[in-house]
């Protein structure tokens, strides 16, 4: 599998922003009178195993979950924009 470590957006050189989606629930208590409380507690239900990445400069660069990898040590591996590679 071809992939390239990215520190910058391959299209415009901007910052890459990785978004990891978490699921939360709002937990409401049913009160003594049988009504739902208006107050709720937000519970973190954990990651929903979904990450996307996009360019912080909004140039249109965008990675779906399967189009990039984050390694154990946190490196960003691009599997999408390999053809656009500009030789430096």
Minimum distance of Zn ion from residue 19's CB (angstroms) = 15
Site of interaction with Zn ion (CB under 5 A)? 9, 11-12, 14, 55, 57, 59, 61
Nearer to Zn ion, 11 or 51 (CB): 11
Task: Please tell me the distance from the alpha carbon of residue 26 to that of residue 2, in angstroms, as a whole number.
Answer: 42
Closest CA to 4 of 73, 72, 50, 69: 69
Q: Is 55 exposed, middle or buried (0-12, 13-18, 19+ CB in 10 A)?
A: buried
Q: Which residue number, 53 or 55, has a Cβ lying nearer to Zn ion?
A: 55
Q: Which is nearer to Zn ion, 53 or 61 (CB)?
A: 61
Please report how close the Cβ of residue 17 comes to Zn ion at its closest, in angstroms.
10
């Amino acid at each position: 599998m071809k992939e390239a470590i990215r520190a910058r957006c391959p299209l415009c050189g901007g910052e890459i922003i990785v978004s990891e989606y978490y699921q939360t629930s709002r937990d409401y208590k049913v009160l003594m009178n049988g009504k739902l409380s208006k107050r709720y507690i937000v519970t973190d239900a954990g990651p929903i195993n979904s990450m996307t990445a996009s360019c912080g400069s909004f140039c249109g660069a965008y990675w779906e979950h399967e189009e990039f990898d984050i390694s154990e040590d946190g490196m960003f591996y691009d599997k999408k924009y390999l053809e656009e590679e500009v030789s430096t």
